[in-house]
Amino acid sequence: MNTEDVTGDDDPFSALLAAWYDALAAGRDPDPEATPPAGLRARLERGLGCLRRLRQWGAARQPDDTPPALPAPSEGLPWPVLGRFELRRELGRGAFGVVFLAYDPLLGREVALKVPRPEVAVAPGLAERFHREARAAASLDHPNLVPVHEAGAVGPVCYLVSTYCPGTTLAEWLKGRGEPVPFADAAALVATLAAAVQHAHERGVLHRDLKPANVLLSAGGPQAVGGGEPSPLAAAHGPLATLIPRITDFGLARLLGADPAEGAPAVATRSGAIVGTPCYMAPEQAAGKGKGVGPSADVYALGAILYELLTGRPPFRGESDLDTLLLVQSEEPVPPGRLRQRLPRDLETICLKCLRKEPYRRYPSTQGLADDLGRWIHGEPIVARPVGLVERAAQWAWRRPLAAAFLGLSVAAAAALLVVMGLASVLSGLGDGSYTATLTVVQRAVQIVLVTAITLTIPIAAAQVIEAARRRTRTSIASA
């Protein structure tokens, strides 16, 4: 910057520049009689050159290049119209988007119009997120999945247009109930959802955010679903028998057929990031293992929904999202039978199989879950088996390494003490030399047993503590 850029009076400069701009806008050259002071001439010439370039650039633009302007807010709505869509009222909002009831005058129908929340509208990759959701949903055609019709943008605002399903969400429906969901209704609902998710999996789409808030319930009953296999809800006789469930919100969907390179299948997330809702999130999701999250994560989420239908609460809920993430990774859920009396054992077994920590121990597919629930509904033997006592003990030892190490040492010490006492009793009748020598050998053997037990248990316990600390650190960083 030259010294003349910061000297002189700004008021004469602004007045002269405005006069020259008005002359350019009117198609005239600046008035040659308006001779600026010597100290302002260089600044005015540079300003005039900039104005001329701007006018030339503006004249060269095509009319179609101008982004459409957004109308002003109106009566509680952000805009009365968005593109060709007429906004009528807000239907709901989530962590990323707001859904409005809108009218499409082109096709003469009501639709659900989803736009980003204002606080995330400037987030990088937002447009790609909306486009990915549209691509994921556009490949699906199932009566229990909400279809997406189109995606677009008006100025800086992205939007998604999907079928309007009047009714409520499963989350709101559960809040309004004063009594538990009948067992058959809960099983039939989750079987219906599992069949719909299987349809998505077969087309390479992993939902990754299944939860009651993403299940819409519309009036009509299973007979209104359409052709094909009858809905499992047809066997229900409770309040859910008159409702059609539909899964919505594929904003966190992962395209399973994409390149597994960094970010390819999970465009919305970076490596190590946590996506989903903690209460319904599989342990591998809670740990931020993006590449390790597969169809079994949706099996877990469906099991969490079944658990809430049966007990009135999700499997895990901490004081904060971080607490919940840690519980999901480290604790076993309370068996539903302890929270609700007379819960059928087989239905509890199905639910807990979905909630296993290890993905390979869950159902291999959501269709397997739907089939097992169908067997239970029709009174047939189920495939799932309850966890045995030995496996429960092994799981407890793995998740409580310090307590397991202490218990192991206590048992080893007690056993060694019993051995010493028994041998001492047997050898008490022998001569002094034989008794002393034998007792020394026994004591030495007990020492070896204890040292061996400590050598084996302490490293295992230490490794588990270190892994738990690393898991907490990863979760804290990913959640920040």
- CATH number of the domain residue 128 falls in: 3.30.200.20
Give me the phi and psi of 205, to 5 degrees please.
-120, 120
Mean pLDDT of 338-354: 94
Which of the four pLDDT bands, split at 50, 70 and 90, describes residue 158?
A: confident
Q: In the chain, what percentage of residues exceed pLDDT 90?
A: 31
Report the pLDDT value the prediction gives residue 224, as an integer from 0 to 100.
Answer: 40
333 plus 224 within the same structural domain: yes
Is residue 121 pLDDT above 70, yes or no?
Answer: no
Which of the four pLDDT bands, split at 50, 70 and 90, describes residue 30?
A: low
Alpha-carbon span 434 to 169, nearest angstrom:
81
Alpha-carbon span 106 to 460, nearest angstrom:
67
Residue 132 lies in a domain: yes
The pTM for the full model equals 0.67
For residue 312, is it left (φ>0), alpha (ψ between -120 and 50) or beta?
Answer: left
Q: Who has greater pLDDT, 306 or 399?
A: 306
Report the pLDDT value the prediction gives residue 24, as an integer from 0 to 100.
Answer: 64
326 plus 447 within the same structural domain: no
315 plus 365 within the same structural domain: yes
**Strand duo 109-116 + 85-93: pairing:** unpaired
To the query of whether residue 346 is one of the catalytic residues in this protein, the response is no
Q: Which of 127-141, 373-387, 421-435 has the lowest mean pLDDT?
A: 421-435
217 plus 319 within the same structural domain: yes
Alpha-carbon span 189 to 174, nearest angstrom:
13
Q: Who has greater pLDDT, 469 or 101?
A: 101
User: Do 99 and 112 touch, CB atoms closer than 8 A?
Assistant: yes
Mean pLDDT of 346-372: 95
- Identified catalytic residue from 209, 249, 298, 372: 209
Mind listing the pLDDT tens digit for each residue in 452-464? 766 766 676 666 6
277 plus 405 within the same structural domain: no
89 plus 124 within the same structural domain: yes
Is residue 394 pLDDT above 50, yes or no?
Answer: yes
Q: Which residue, of 140, 163, 186, is where some domain finishes?
A: 163
142 plus 215 within the same structural domain: no
Give the range with max mean pLDDT: 74-78, 191-195, 432-436. Answer: 191-195
208 plus 352 within the same structural domain: yes
Q: Which residue, of 40, 65, 90, is where some domain finishes?
A: 65
| 117-123-129 Cα angle (round to 5) | 80
Mean pLDDT of 387-407: 56
Residue 74 lies in a domain: no
328 plus 192 within the same structural domain: yes
251 plus 273 within the same structural domain: yes
Residue 267 lies in a domain: yes
Average pLDDT, the chain: 75
DSSP symbols for 294-337: -HHHHHHHHHHHHHHHHHSS-S---SSHHHHHHHHHH-PPPPHH
Report the pLDDT value the prediction gives residue 247, as an integer from 0 to 100.
Answer: 95
Q: Which residue, of 101, 133, 163, is where some domain finishes?
A: 163
Report the pLDDT value the prediction gives residue 477, as an integer from 0 to 100.
Answer: 47
Q: Who has greater pLDDT, 237 or 468?
A: 468
Report the pLDDT value the prediction gives residue 272, as an integer from 0 to 100.
Answer: 43
Alpha-carbon span 346 to 352, nearest angstrom:
10
Is residue 384 classed as helix, strand or coil in its secondary structure? coil
Residue 431 lies in a domain: yes
Which of the four pLDDT bands, split at 50, 70 and 90, describes residue 342?
A: very high
Report the pLDDT value the prediction gives residue 94, as an integer from 0 to 100.
Answer: 74
Is residue 210 pLDDT above 60, yes or no?
Answer: yes
User: Do 356 and 375 touch, CB atoms closer than 8 A?
Assistant: no
Domain count, the chain: 4
Is residue 45 pLDDT above 90, yes or no?
Answer: no
Any idea what the CATH number is for the domain that residue 198 is in? 1.10.510.10
Give the range with max mean pLDDT: 224-233, 246-255, 396-405. Answer: 246-255
Report the pLDDT value the prediction gives residue 301, as an integer from 0 to 100.
Answer: 96
Residue 76 lies in a domain: no
Is residue 439 classed as helix, strand or coil in its secondary structure? helix
Residue 73 lies in a domain: no
Residue 71 lies in a domain: no
Report the pLDDT value the prediction gives residue 277, as an integer from 0 to 100.
Answer: 85
In sequence order, which residues have a C-beta less than 8 Å from that of residue 399 and are 6 or more positions away? 330, 331, 332
Is residue 401 pLDDT above 80, yes or no?
Answer: no
Is residue 352 classed as helix, strand or coil in its secondary structure? helix
Helix (H) or strand (E) holding 159: strand 157-163
Q: Which two tokens stand for residue 165?
A: 């399903």
Q: Which of 20-29, 75-84, 150-159, 227-236 has the lowest mean pLDDT?
A: 227-236
333 plus 308 within the same structural domain: yes
Alpha-carbon span 375 to 381, nearest angstrom:
6
Write down the residue that tokens 């409702």 correspond to: 243
Which of the four pLDDT bands, split at 50, 70 and 90, describes residue 425?
A: low
Residue numbers of the domain that contains 293? 168-387
Report the pLDDT value the prediction gives residue 4, as an integer from 0 to 100.
Answer: 42
Mind listing the pLDDT tens digit for each residue in 261-319? 333 333 344 334 556 789 999 999 888 776 778 899 999 999 999 999 999 999 999 88
Q: Which amino acid is at 104?
A: D
Residue 134 lies in a domain: yes
Q: Find, among 105, 61, 62, the residue nearest to 83 by Cα.
A: 105
225 plus 102 within the same structural domain: no
Give me the phi and psi of 57, to 5 degrees please.
-65, -40
